[in-house]
Structure formats: C-alpha cells, structure tokens
Chain A
Amino acid sequence: MSVKIKHFPGEEIETKDFREGKVLFESFRPKAKYAWSAGIAISRFLEELKNGRIIATTCSKCKRIIVPPRIYCEKCFKPTDGWTYVKDTGVINTFSVSFLAADASRLKEPIVVAIINLDGASEGMGIAHRIEEYGDWREIKIGMRVKAVWKTPEERVGAITDIKYFKPLKE
C-alpha cells in the first residue's frame, strides 16, 4: 500500500452474484471419509472412559501427570513411564459461551465449552468439554469447581462423549 502504487488489483464480487448468475463458477463436494487411528495412548483412554474412568500417563523425569495421555513426554522427549487414574472433578481454567454451532449457524441456547483442569493431574493439565446445568451463563466463573456427568454404563462406547458434560459442583 505504497503511495507509488496507483492501482490495487482484484475484482470484487458479492455472494449474491453467484445466485444471480453474474459470476460463473464450478461446484464440488469432496467425499473424504476417515478412520483415524486413536493410537496406543488414546485407545486406552477411550477404553477407560467406557469404564467410567479418566486415565493419564506419567513422566518420571519432569514428574508430570499428563492428560490426555500420550506415550511420549513432549518436553523430555522420552517415553512416558506409567499410567495412573485422575479424578473426574476439576476446575474451570477458561470457558466460552458460544452462540455459534460447529457449522457457524446461530444458536438460541448457547453451548458452553471449557478447559477443565482435572484433579490429580499436573497443574494446568486440562481437557476440553462442555459445561451444562449452570443456570445463568453469566454466573460461570474461571476457577469454578466442576464434576463430570457420565452416560450410563450401557450407553458408554469408548468416546470422549461418554462424559456427557461437566456440571458445577455446589460446595
């Protein structure tokens, strides 16, 4: 955007120009399906979720209790040393009250997503999940204690959604 440049190229069109046939285009929808391998650590994590438990891995060098678990400690760059369970309670590290769904459509009732630092894991170790049963969303605070609400054992399949959501703990 130099004063030496008199003309900046680009022919602007509007979204309605597509509908009205003023601009020519081709359409395409890729058909891409995936079977993502969960890997060693997350396969175990999912299996434990089916059992109603949250599992972490430990690193003997930096002493971290790591969740979601991984087979290597990315800081020490060595294999993690063992597994240990962490609690299904924790503290809200940060959260957002979203009036947007995953496809960018607008929601009347918001979705609340949070990072929850789980009890028993190292400081700052969190997982992302939803918060529900909060009453007024303006009352949600960073630092609030929450607890997982699980699906019934019959409903659980080995997925992050085996935890339905976290709800505020009334102390």
Chain B
Amino acid sequence: MFGKKRVAIVGAGVTLFRRNLKETGKELAYHAAKMALEQAGMELCDIQSVVMGSAPDAFDGVHMKGEYLADGAGAYHKPYTRVFVGGGTGVFAPLAGWWHIASGQFDTCLVVCEEKMSSCYPHPQYAFTTIFDPILERPIGMNLIWIFALEMNRYMHKHNVKKEDIALVSVKNKRNALDNPIAQLAANITVEDVLNSEIMAWPVQRLDVSPTSDGAAAAVLVSEDVAREVTDNPVWIDGVGWCIDSTHWTNRDLYYPDYVEYAARMAYKMAGIKNPPKEIDVAEPYDPFDYKELHHMEGLLLCKKGEAPKLTREGVTQRDGDLPTCPSGGLLGCGNPIAAAGMMKVCEIFWQLRGEAGKRQVPGDPRTGVAQAWGDLMQYGSVIVLRR
C-alpha cells in the first residue's frame, strides 16, 4: 500500500452541465458538494479538509477563484487547497484529495470541482488565447482550436488514421450521453453528420468538438476506517499518477502524449496493474475532441500506438465491448466545464464500479476503472485508478 492509509470514495455528486446556468460559481460548487455529502450519508461537520479544482480564473472572471469558491465548496474554516492544471484539474483534484488522507494527516476530504465558463462573454475563447506565448505565438493570431487541430493532424498522419474512424468516437460518446441525465449535447448522430459539419480549423470540424459549459462535480474521500463506518460499498483509490511536459509544444512530436503514459505508469505501478487492457474493466479517458479519446487510450497503454481507431471500429469501446470507454458520454456528449468535466469522469467510474450507473451501466460486474484528464498547453496528464 502506498501512503499511511487506504483511501476510498464514498459519495459523489454532479450538477447539470449546460452552456449557461443561472447559478453563480459558488452555488454550483454548493450543489455538487451537498449532493456528494448526502450520497455519502455525511454532514459538512464530518469533513476535515477540502480540495477545490477549478481551471483558469479568467473563465469565471474572478481573480483568486479558489478563494471565491471556498465557502460554496464547504471549506469555511477548514484546511483548503485549490489545484489547477488546466484540463487535467478534474482528475488531479481527487489526486490531491488522496494526498490529504494517504499522508495520514486527515481522515476525510471533500473534493469539489467547478467551472462557470459562460461568464466570459461572448465566448471563453478570449480567456483561452492567453495560454499562448505572448511574444512568439499570440502575434501569429493563435486560436485555441488550432492546438487540437495541429495535434490531430499529426496523429492522423503518423498512423494513417482516417477522419471516418475518428468521427466514430463522437458518434459513440454523444449516443452514450443520451442515457446521462446531466448531459448537455447528447444526440444520435452519424459519421456523415460529423464529416459534413462546419470546418473550424481543418482537420477539426464542429462535431469533433465538445462545447464550453457551466457545471460542478464533487466526491467525498475518506480513510479506510471511516469508509467501513459509512458504507458497505466503498470504491478504493488504488492508483494515482500525474506528469507534466514543457510548454515548448513546438519542440515535440504531438502524435503521442508521453506525459499521459508516464502518469499512467505511475498509477498502474501503485495499483499493481501489469496488463492494462486486460485488467481494466472500464475507462474514462479525457475526450474534449474525438481524436483525443484515441490519443489518450494509447497514452493510457490500453492499446498499442495507432491501434485505438481499430478498436473503436470493431466496437471494443462500446459499453458492451471488451473495453468500455467513456460510457458516461464523455465531454463530447455531456459538455466540458473544464475541471468539473474531469471530476464527472471520476464520479462515473465510481458509479460504474458500484453498479449504480443505470442505463449506462457496463455489464460484467466491473471492478477496476481508470479516469484520466489532460491539460494546459498539451502537456499535462493526470490518471486515477479506482477499484472495488
């Protein structure tokens, strides 16, 4: 066992994900946090520490956003940490929660992730473009979509992947999302719909992309002793991994995310996983764009480099396949409130392993799941392995 105490998730909560929600960021954080506590059968006074995951202050438009959201996240007068690694935040936040308990310092930790991107008007694009180097990249007119387009093009070129295969991911995830009560963009679409959709930055087309959203998600993490008291059905955090590459993204080959692999190896070593495709029953890789699910499946060592499109074509990643991937509907189907999106994936694995996912439930009594998020300037990977 790594750490002084084994850590379990015992409750989770998610708000609706929508383009515009009326609630303030604080209110969103509260809804998710409260739901997670109620699901765990616990009160705020049982919580000893709080971790908040929320991506750039520039989205909500409140400087020191972590501090602003603190009371909504239940952190009033409690030890509080905000973590932020761009899109990787949603899986990194429960990792930070894990540190709180595994270190032996706390027995309980409430992990909350929130994003209110609609505050940046008319589109959070303005906030996004400031990720680029102000001297070497912004003067060229960089747009966020270009990052994905450049990466996608390289991936397609390296493995000779056709757009039709990539579009299958969008079709699968949006269809999976039809069974998700919080989903923003669930739909029954076809590969042709994707290929005929508006070209945004070739090879990226409109239906390849997840939308910007408002939303929050939360989970209650506890030590083994507390887990045995509050539930018969804890889900253990058995592996954690995280890794970052540099922002010199023009200096690496974008076809493969090394940093996701390093984070995955770290998590798998901790969890004692030697053969990921065989030992992992359900996966939620980060899918802000359809090709990213393939990119990340390979980075997570769930298949060989270049093999993910084939597995998708063969139906292996469907809910009833050998490696169900994004049964929640992912970001493509549910929406992408950056930090909350990654956390939603962790919550999905939690509910899948408990058998509570309803229509989205993957069959076969899954016992081990992995969730992964990716962020910053194509440089960050966070991975969590959950087990029942």
Contacts and interface: CB of A to CB of B under 8 A. Distances in A.
- Classify A-B as touching or not with yes or no (CB < 8 A): yes
Given A98-B149, A160-B135, 7 more contacts: A2-B357, A4-B39, A10-B214, A11-B22, A23-B22, A36-B134, A103-B126
A142 B149 CA distance: 13
B135 A38 contact: yes
A38 B137 CA distance: 13
A14 B20 contact: yes
B16 A96 contact: no
Interface in A60-115: 66, 68, 70, 74, 93-104, 110-111, 113-115
Given A10-B21, A13-B21, A102-B142, A125 B153 contact: no
Given A94-B151, A99-B199, A8 B182 contact: yes
Nearest to B179: A1
A93 B203 CA distance: 15
B141 A96 contact: no
A94 B135 contact: no
Contacts of A70: 248
A9 B21 CA distance: 10
- 7 A-B pairs with least C-beta separation: A10-B16, A96-B149, A98-B201, A97-B202, A104-B125, A94-B154, A9-B31
A40 interface: no
A68 B251 CA distance: 9
A101 B141 contact: yes
25 contacts: A1-B182, A4-B356, A8-B14, A8-B15, A8-B16, A9-B16, A10-B28, A15-B19, A46-B135, A68-B250, A96-B150, A96-B201, A97-B199, A98-B146, A101-B143, A103-B126, A110-B202, A113-B150, A115-B150, A126-B250, A127-B136, A128-B250, A129-B140, A130-B141, A161-B140
B170 interface: no
A149 interface: no
Contact of B253 (A8, A124, A129): A124
Interface of A: 1-5, 8-15, 17, 23, 27-28, 30, 34, 36, 38, 42, 46, 66, 68, 70, 74, 93-104, 110-111, 113-115, 124-130, 137, 142, 159-161
Contacts of B347: 1
Most-contacted residue by chain A among B12, B154, B248 (CB, 10 A) = B248
A8 B28 CA distance: 11
Given A15-B19, A128-B136, A113 B142 contact: yes
Of B250, B252, B328, B348, which is in contact with the most chain A CB atoms at under 10 Å from its CB? B250
A142 B153 contact: yes
B59 to A, nearest CB: 13
Nearest to B355: A3
Contacts of B12: 2
Q: Is the interface of B mostly helix, strand, loop or mixed?
A: mixed
B20 A15 contact: yes
B134 A96 contact: no
Contacts of B21: 10-13
B13 A5 contact: yes
A5 B303 CA distance: 34
Contact of B360 (A1, A125, A127, A137): A1
B35 interface: yes
Contacts of A34: 134
A96 B153 contact: yes
Contacts of A14: 19-20
B23 interface: yes
Contact of A127 (B141, B201, B250): B250
Given A1-B348, A10-B18, A96 B204 contact: yes
A1 B153 contact: no
Given A1-B360, A113-B150, A160 B136 contact: yes
Given A94-B153, A94-B254, A128 B356 contact: no
A105 to B, nearest CB: 9
Contacts of B201: 96-100, 113
B366 interface: no
B181 A100 contact: no
Given A2-B351, A96-B202, A128-B140, A10 B251 contact: no
A46 to B, nearest CB: 7
Contacts of A94: 150-151, 153-154, 157, 254
Contact of B251 (A46, A125, A159): A125
Contacts of B105: none
A137 B14 CA distance: 43
Interface string B335-355: 000000000000110010010
A42 B12 CA distance: 47
B61 A28 contact: yes
A95 B250 CA distance: 11
Contacts of B149: 96-98
